[in-house]
Every structure is written in structure tokens, then in C-alpha cells.
Structure 1
Amino acid sequence: MQVPKVRAVRNSSSDPAILRLPIFAVGGHDSFDNRYELAENGARGFFPDPIQLPELVERIEKLSADQARGTRGRVILVEDDPDLAEHYRLVLHLAGIDVRIVNDPTRLLSDMAAFRPDLVLMDVQLDGYSGVHLARMIRFDAQWLSLPIIYLSSEDDPDIQLDALSKGADDFLMKPVSDDYLVRSVQIRCLRARLLSDLMNQDSLTGLLKHSLIKQTLEQEVARCRRDGRTSAVVMLDLDHFKTVNDTWGHVVGDTVIKSLANLLRNRLRETDLIGRYGGEEFLVVMPGCDLDDAERVMQDIAASFSALAFTAGQDRFHVTLSAGIAAIHALSTADESLNAADAALYRRKYNGRNGVTVFRSGPQNAPQEAH
């Protein structure tokens, strides 16, 4: 069918909440003119025929998650004028942005490491220090290479601005800056920084954490368990007979199966649980503050729900199951030990018939035992 004219789906409501609702165009043929008209009229997405339902669902879920997070951000404010710094902090705080003020530049790096900002807002001229040199110093650390740094300055010479930007920062906000302009500028840049961070840290197929990031998350949770004495679990999941899926129905269908499991994990686990694509059809889940019994119950429910999903490929209809191994992070000394224990439990589950959950419980022989 023909893509409907966008003016037919434009929202004429005077309700601000409704006016903010995103518009997706579904169906019709794919062409540059259709895409441009949709973009011109404010559409947030276009799914032409034939509609790929998993992609549509994934896009809606991601948009919902982004809207739930809102325009919040985390900003390091480097400003040696206490009154001005407090004014900026209050203005941004009222807009839902968390701000940490750094009056002493010698504390900048340690505060950044603890606060993990989305953006640095920094005066160019500080007492005894140059914001330009501080920006260059921040870039020494690879983890901050993509962090937006914005100067607050009354300097209006374009050549001086460009020279300063070439040394590590990204933009200028000219003093005096209005409260509204400050808030909007910071919100936009925090959102862009968050999107860039997602692209860098998330697996492109599933949107879950990449292999290196989920392993780093596990290492951090091991440290917290040892420091705070809390209980946590790690889960290794694997799709059963996944090679048969790819060989029989192709990799496109296989990707749909992987994304479906990723979406199920994202929807059924807590917001505090961290999920990563460990590699291929393997997933790793870190469950802070969760004991083995609770982790086992949750994963059994997920395994049952996933096995009930029906996938289609042409005229074929099929099901896929998963196997999971669970280990107690707090009962082991290192991240590698936790991984090895969860992997051993997963291997035992595979050996005993797949399609279920096995828990690694430390016993006389330190061997995995079947979950009941």
C-alpha cells in the first residue's frame, strides 16, 4: 500500500503530553521521497513493507527505555567562583541533571573517576590553572577520549576559540549564558553523549553490553561482594542446538532468535541486573544482591518462557530452548573463578539434556549439581 500522507497522522491535539508522543510510520513502499516527507513532518521511525515485527518491537522498546531515562545527565562543573558554580548547579538540578562541582582542579580526575560524568562543563580561566590545559590532560586517559568537554568563556575571538578547541574540548558556551540556554545545551549534549556511549558499549545486534563490558561489570561486582559482604549471582546462558537453526533457516532467522532472547532477558530481569552478549549465542548476566535460589527461580521462568516462543521461517514453525549455569559470585574469589563456575554448571546442564538450569553449589567435590 501507499504510505499515507503524514499530515493525516499529524497530531493536532493541544495536550502537551500527546504532542510529545513519537510517531512511527508503518507500511508502504520504501523511497527517498517517502522517508524525507516523514522526517520533515516529525516521524521518529519508518518501517516499510514487508514489516519486520522484531525490529519494530525492538525500536519501540528502545524508545520507551530512552524516554524513561528522560533528559537526565551527569555533569562535572569546573568553576572557581563558588556563587556562580552554585547557581549553575541549582539551575541544572531543577532540570533533572546531576551536577558535581569541582572548585579545586587538582581533584578533577579523582572526582571524574568517582562520578562518571556524561559531560564536563569548565571555565577557561581558573585560579592558577587553564581550562585548555586541563582539557588536554583529561584526554590523556583513553576512557575520557569521547567525553564531551564544553568551555564556559567570555572569549569571542573565533581564532582563539578554535585554537582552544583543538587542544581537547568540543564547544564553547559564551558567558553570560542564560539559564534556559544552559539547560538546553547541557541536555542536548548529555543525550548525544549517552547515545554515543551506547553505540560504543552495546552489542550492535542485541543492544546488550559487549563482551569486554559485561566482564568488567562482573569484576566490579566481585569487588563489591568482597567489600560489602553482599550476595550476588552470575549466569551463563547458551542457546541449544543453535547451529541447527542457522544451518536450517539461515543466519537472518538465527539473528531473530538471538534478539528475541535478548529482549526477553531485558524485560524479565531487574533494572539492576546487567546483561551482556558474551559471544555468538552465549549471554552473561550479573545479578547484584541476588542469592542462588532467587536466581535459579528467575532463570527457570525465563527458560520456560523462551521455550514457549514460536519462531517462523517461511512455512516452518519451530521452537528453541536454552541452557543456563548459575554461580554465586560472593562464594568465589575472582571474576575468573565465577565465570568458570557458571560455565561448569552450564556444561553440566548441556551434558544432562539441555533446556534448563543448573546451579554450581560448592560441595565436597566442588562440582555442579542439578537444579530441582
Structure 2
Amino acid sequence: MEKYQKHFLNNFRKKLEEWEAKPEVPHKDVYRFVHSLAGSASTLGLDEIGKLARQLMDTMDEVDDRLLTIPELRTMLFDIIEAYYRLEEGTVSDKKGHQGRQGEEPVILIIDDDTSFLMYMKEELENIGWYVVPIANPEKAVTSYYDVRPDCAIIDIYMNETNGFEVLDFFKQKLKQQFIPTVMVSVDDRKETRMKCYGLGADDFIQKPFDIDEFIVRVKRQIERKKQIEELILIDELTHMYNRKYLAQAYDQVKSIWNRRKEPSSIAVIDIDHFKKVNDQYGHLAGDKVLAEFASFLKKNTRGQDIVVRYGGEEFVVICLSTTGQDAYTFLDRCRQDFSELIFHENDPFSCTFSAGISEITDPSKSMDEWLRLADQALYKAKENGRNRVEIDSKSTGIQHTKIIKVAIVDDDPIIRTVMRDIVSKLPAEQNVEYDIKSFKDGAAFLEAEWHRDSLCLVILDGVMPKMDGLEVLERLRSQEDSYRYKVLMLTSRSSEKDISRSLQLGADDYMTKPFKLLELEARLGQILKRMR
């Protein structure tokens, strides 16, 4: 029976590949195919596929002369394709009784050039519900710190070319602005080594090899301590401005003014233009200097009653109390012009600009998030219109400005492509964020495409493909000057430890081993896309 089941499943895959090569497929051909599935699957013991095929067949018209596009075909057959995937990979559906991760799990950054250790730790820590970002290249750890914003960093002391003390020293410079616990690990348990770790600011030292249960308890304690400290602190230490936790208190002031005097206030979301290029060209320390000076600039140019908040990264929020949207526009546009004339001296002199979006708060019974959303829409409009400008929200015109995130699915398997596309399209996104999804049969087709040029792109990349495998695609992406635009999730088989090791060395942002549960894949994609938004 098993031999015939495999033959049946292979024919199913070949039929999908045949259809995907065509622009359209006759509805009557699909009906005959579904009819065949309904008749054969259950006979061969593939009851779930047979049941789904019969249910679909009952909704189809046998004499329909329409031509179906490939997206329409995928949608029609998706439940059957998903059942096929679970059956072929031996996975179990998570749809009942398990909600998956909610995107709030602790994020752990592990830096170690021993890829076997990275793989082991990733599996063990993700089994308890943590999200693990493994970094094999210490140089990449510096940029990953900004990108990932971990809840705890695990750093090995001795690595090729770079030692963990250098990474720890860098992190602790950052910890002056943001508290990130660091745990050092090493086989070297000498007193002088431990003292150097603690002297540089490490929060814990754990000798290798260690008991994983004890390790988890000690790291969990650091994460809980971080959470407690964050709940107490409302000041961003880099810029000395309020952090986003202060927004609730600030909005109370907006409500109070409205209730007493019926005066509107305005809120602006400000973003430093092309800030990523500053970090890449001059270094992250120079980028921090720009942020600190920009915050100082805002403080000097705002009134005493205005509230400046560092919202996150290079984004700031300014609440102009008792100020109309037009007055806020006039004020911020003057600030924009003045800021563009400032010169920063870091190697070569350079200047920066900012874009801003403004919404006028006319109904404080609505939530702060609603006014932030409108200001954010206006900010995207400013960026779409060329940056270095200020826009007022478009609620009066009803125009909605949408941020597009591109997602490339590069896999020679039509089943995987279909499942991936459906999962990404159904992921929850922030309002006015859309995913532009495109599939590629092989790595060469992806690299040749112009579609992903000049934009942020998540690449879901299969490790083994004809013509050009995923590792070669990854290596080419990481050799580009603009490689930061690409986030890469590698898909590998459990037996391909060498491929996983190589993908980590080449700079993959994450990896998953086949077979994987669909909800686990959904959670992983959600985490990466969250970092890109």
C-alpha cells in the first residue's frame, strides 16, 4: 500500500508543476483531477485528502468553461495541498487546541562561531518557547544587536579572529542606553577570565559544558530582571528623552486640555531619512551620535509644554499640546529646514534630513494608537513623495498610504511555494502594511528578477534547488553592498547539518529544518517580518 501511496503523491506533485507552467488552467481539467483524487485517495488509505477532494468536488460545476489563473487554482486547492504537505512530511496539524506563539516570546541572541553549539542551543531554547537568533560571525553580531533588540545576549569568549570580550565591550557601551543582559560562556573557567567578564559588565558567566536546565533558569532570571527594570524606567538613556512607555501619560495631558478648554493638540511621527546608510557608512556609534544630537535639536526647538518621545530606533514622536495640525506643520517644517543644515563630523562631514507625518487630535475619546496610525500614514506619504518633507494626515480625503514589504519564496517545490504563500498572505500585519509576495522556482530566477531591487525583502530560501542552490544565492546576496535589504530564512533538511552550518557562516538571519509544523513556520515568519516593519 505504501508504494502506491507514494506513487499517488508523486503524481499529485507533477500535476501541480505542470499547471504552474501555464498561465491559465481550464476549470474542467481541475474538476476531473479533483474527481480522481476523491475516488483514489481514500482507496489508498489517504482519507483526509479524499474527504477534502469530495467536499471541493461538491462545490464545483462539472460543465464550467472558465479558465482559472494560477492564484485562483492555488486558493481552490489549498486545503488539499496543505493536507498533502502534512502527510508527506509526517507533520501533525496544529489547527486545533494550539494557538501558537503570540510574538511576545523572549528573543535570545547567541554569538558563537561553533555552529554545532548554535544549532543545539537554538533547538533546546526554542523547545521552551523562546525565539533564538544564532550568529556565527561576530562582526554580524554588532548589526544584529540593532536589528534584533534581544532580551538577552549569550556570547562565547573565544572565537576565531574576534574574541567575545570585544563584543561584550561593544554591547556594554550600548547598555548605557538600553539594558540588555549579557551572559558569557566558555570552557575557560579560570578566575582571571571570570573577573574580566564581570569587569567588562557581564551579568553572568557559565562554564561550558553546562547543564541545559540550569542554563535556562539562569538566563530566565536575567530576562525577568530586564523586564522589571524596563517597567520602572521611562527615560531613554541615549537621547535623554521619554521612551514610548511615557505616551500613555502624555495622552492624559492631551485629554485634560481638551476637557478643560476644548483645544486640539497635534501628534507628529518623525523618522530620520536613510538612517541605515549612516550606520553602514560611518558606524553605529556615529549613528548613535546623530540620534542623540537630533533629540537635543528637538528639545531646543520645541516649547516647554511640548513632549518629545523616542519611539524606537530612529523614530521620534512629538506631541504639540494646544496646537492645531497646521501650526504643528509650520513649526516642524521650519525644524526640518534647520536640521538639514547641521553638519556632523565623523571621518567625512555629512548631514541628515528627516521626514514627518502629523495628525490633529480632535477627539481624545479615541485611542492614542488611532492618532499615531494617522500620523504614520502621513509619514509614509512624506517618504513616498521623496522624503525630507512634512505631511499632514489624509483623513479628510480618505486616502490610505500603505507600506509594502516584499516576500520572495524561492523553492523548486510547488507544494512548499503554495503553503508558504498562503501562510504569509494570512499573517497579521499592522494596519496599512501589505505583503507583496512572489514565488520563484529556482535561485537563478530570483537573482535575475528586478522585482526585489531597491526595497526591503524577506527571502524564504530552500537550501537544495536545481541550477543554483540556496547557499549560492545567500552568498551572492551577502556579497552585495546593499545586502542589509535582505532578510533570509533558510529551509534545510534535518540531515543537512553542514548546510545549516554554512548558511549561518554566510549570514542567514534564521533557518528552519524540514519537516516543520505550519504554526511554527507562521510564528518564525511573523518574528522576522515584525523586525522589518
Report the TM-score range of the alignment, normalised by the length of the smaller protein.
0.3 to 0.5
TM-score (norm 1): 0.43
Higher CA-based Rg: 2
